[in-house]
A and B are shown apart, each in its own frame.
Chain A
Amino acid sequence: MNASRHHKPANSGSARFKQGMRALTGGVTIIGAYGPDGGPVAMTATAVTSLSAEPPSLLACVNRSASIASALKARKRFSVNVLAADQIDVAKAFGGQLDVRGTGRFIYGNWRRVDDTEVPVLTGSRVSFECEVSHVHDWATHHIVIGTVLDVHFSLAKTQSLVYADGSYIALG
């Protein structure tokens, strides 16, 4: 066996990693919450997965430096909104790809407050999961957030889902 031929570096490098991850097609979500200063914050996220059905829970990975991270710590309540095909502009606004900042981003999308928990949910997305932070595990630059689902809000949207693949948003359907 030729050791040098099979040598793998301990860290393959973030550029190669990102290049590889372009192949992983996924749904697009926006995570929304109220921040510690009383203003809403939200962020486009693709690193969201279903975790378990009993109890209903999901997992979201957010960069520790993102404003949503401090919001999740402060308020413990958040929404995961699965975007519809006609919400590309909303995905871009909350993904930092448009010329809007802070609460100025909320001109994109119809954001509504749930009565009791006051979680901001994005009306017009396929579905909104209203969650509570149950556990946070830190890994390198990121928080791995486990959210218990408090309620599921289905929308009247008739469009298909939005997906992210090879660095672009693609509308299904």
Chain B
Amino acid sequence: MSQLHPLKGPNQFKLGVFSSNADGGLAVTDVPERWRARWDDNLTAVGIADRAGLEFFLPIARWRGFGGKNHVREWSFETFTWAAGLAAVTKNIGLFMTVHVPLVHPVYAAKALATVDHISGGRAGLNIVCGWNPDEFAMFGAKPGDDAYGQAAEWVEVIERCYGGNQPFDFEGKHYQLKGVVSRPASIQVPRPLTMNAAFGAPGRDFAAKNCDFLFSSFSNIEDGRKHIADIRARSRLQGREVGIYTVCHVVARETQREADEYYERYAVTQADQAAVDNHMAQRKEFANAHDEDACALYRKRFAGGAGTYPLVGTPEKIVDDMIKISREGYAGSALTFVNYTYELPFFCDRVLPLMKQAGLRVV
């Protein structure tokens, strides 16, 4: 029989690893140990996380990079096949796929997602993204649509109907008109693998309230988190649903605060991939609505450090203190990024996780 999904496990503050499938992870840096995202790197990192009991691995969906010196993110593994590969070599960890609604047909997505759910014994998860980058859409001869979340709602409905029965069905939507659709096997998870989204604007959050189990939300200051929590809770309550709210943080954990601060300064400022940061910020500012506007304007360092996410920088004690604050705001967990996942996850797991247990944030 299949196992429990770790995201439904007992830990009060759940942890995952974000963006290990892509060059640089979430950092935009030129330090020599920067993440190269080779397959062996991914295998090593997921092994560490799986054995340490982290709840999930979450990939980023990138079709082209941000240029700069290192063509950051240009090298990235496709996420269905990435998750399938990791599913076969892990035991407990949840494995997300990050899928662009306009670029992947829902009937294909239903089958690929179900396949990973079977390989993993019910540990699959789906990160539904609508996309924002016109250069990536252009590669597909497409443009970002003006009814992105309307399309996403139909997309999810098609997937759920695929899993809902083995009789062929027709679908008459605004975005999809499908005949005689059938897709077996269905997912192991009922009604479908867990879903998440990282929308920031109102239409996206309403979509998440109706269709997603988790919503990822970034913030510039921990105290700003509570307004996002209240907003998302109100929207999901209207739908008769509970949506778990997570955030993303980039992490530098060291034995002393000074070591951590110096390393953060080095990789995210003095040795940042400046040209790529410039490109990245220009695109984000113009097109993105998935990140807090204040963060975009104020924190160039945070972009180089981790694409505008919140920094957890310091001693294990300091990092746990920050996570306690984030948890108190109402967050159910965080996805984490590191400059080099395989170099830094062991220290994090050995030193931070036991303190989280002591603090009551985690039980296993």
A-B interaction: yes
Residues of chain A touching chain B, judged by Cβ–Cβ distance below 8 Å, are 34, 37-40, 99-104, 106-107, 109-113, 115, 118, 120, 123-124, 153, 155
- Which of A39, A106, A153 contacts B1, CB < 8 Å? A153
Query: In the assembly, what is the distance between CA of A33 and CA of B186, in Å?
Result: 15
Contact status B242-A100, CB under 8 Å: yes
Contact status B239-A120, CB under 8 Å: no
Contact status A103-B191, CB under 8 Å: yes
Pick the most buried of A103, A106, A109, A123: most chain B CB atoms within 10 A of its CB: A123
Contact status B242-A124, CB under 8 Å: no
User: Interface stretch among B23-31, B45-53, B160-168, B336-344?
Assistant: B160-168
Query: In the assembly, what is the distance between CA of A40 and CA of B188, in Å?
Result: 13
Residues of chain B touching chain A, judged by Cβ–Cβ distance below 8 Å, are 1-5, 8, 122, 160-161, 163-166, 169, 185-191, 213, 237, 239-242, 244
Contact status A34-B237, CB under 8 Å: no
Extra contacts, 13 of them, besides A110-B122, A113-B188 (Cβ < 8 A), are A38-B161, A39-B160, A100-B241, A100-B242, A101-B240, A106-B191, A107-B213, A109-B8, A110-B8, A111-B190, A112-B2, A113-B190, A123-B3
Known pairs A110-B8, A112-B2; A104 contacts B190 (CB<8 A): no
- What residue in chain A is nearest B213 (Cβ atoms)? A107
- Which of B4, B5, B166 contacts A118, CB < 8 Å? B166
- Which of B2, B163, B166, B169 contacts A123, CB < 8 Å? B2
Contact status A112-B1, CB under 8 Å: yes
Contact status A112-B164, CB under 8 Å: no
Query: In the assembly, what is the distance between CA of A103 and CA of B210, in Å?
Result: 10
**Main secondary structure on B side of the interface with A:** loop
Query: In the assembly, what is the distance between CA of A99 and CA of B233, in Å?
Result: 11
Known pairs A106-B190, A123-B2; A115 contacts B185 (CB<8 A): yes
| Residue numbers in A under 8 Å from B186 (CB-CB) | 113, 118
Query: In the assembly, what is the distance between CA of A25 and CA of B164, in Å?
Result: 36
B159 to chain A, nearest CB (A): 11
| Residue numbers in B under 8 Å from A123 (CB-CB) | 1-4
- What residue in chain B is nearest A109 (Cβ atoms)? B8
- Which of B187, B188, B242 contacts A107, CB < 8 Å? B242
| Residue numbers in A under 8 Å from B242 (CB-CB) | 99-100, 104, 107
Query: In the assembly, what is the distance between CA of A101 and CA of B190, in Å?
Result: 15
Query: In the assembly, what is the distance between CA of A99 and CA of B185, in Å?
Result: 32
Query: In the assembly, what is the distance between CA of A104 and CA of B244, in Å?
Result: 12
Query: In the assembly, what is the distance between CA of A99 and CA of B164, in Å?
Result: 24
Query: In the assembly, what is the distance between CA of A80 and CA of B178, in Å?
Result: 35
Query: In the assembly, what is the distance between CA of A37 and CA of B164, in Å?
Result: 8
Contact status B240-A112, CB under 8 Å: no
B293 to chain A, nearest CB (A): 31
Contact status B241-A111, CB under 8 Å: no
Contact status A40-B1, CB under 8 Å: no
- What residue in chain A is nearest B210 (Cβ atoms)? A104
Report, nearest first, the 6 A-B pairs whose CB atoms are least far apart.
Answer: A38-B164, A101-B240, A104-B241, A111-B190, A120-B190, A104-B240
Query: In the assembly, what is the distance between CA of A17 and CA of B313, in Å?
Result: 63
| Residue numbers in B under 8 Å from A103 (CB-CB) | 191
Contact status B239-A155, CB under 8 Å: no
Contact status B240-A34, CB under 8 Å: no
Query: In the assembly, what is the distance between CA of A111 and CA of B213, in Å?
Result: 14
- What residue in chain A is nearest B244 (Cβ atoms)? A107
Q: List 28 A-B contacts (CB under 8 A).
A: A38-B160, A38-B161, A38-B163, A38-B164, A38-B165, A40-B190, A40-B191, A100-B240, A100-B241, A100-B242, A104-B239, A104-B241, A104-B242, A106-B190, A106-B191, A107-B241, A110-B122, A111-B191, A112-B2, A112-B188, A112-B189, A113-B186, A113-B187, A113-B188, A118-B166, A120-B190, A123-B3, A155-B1
Query: In the assembly, what is the distance between CA of A39 and CA of B169, in Å?
Result: 14
| Residue numbers in B under 8 Å from A153 (CB-CB) | 1
Query: In the assembly, what is the distance between CA of A38 and CA of B4, in Å?
Result: 23
B301 to chain A, nearest CB (A): 37
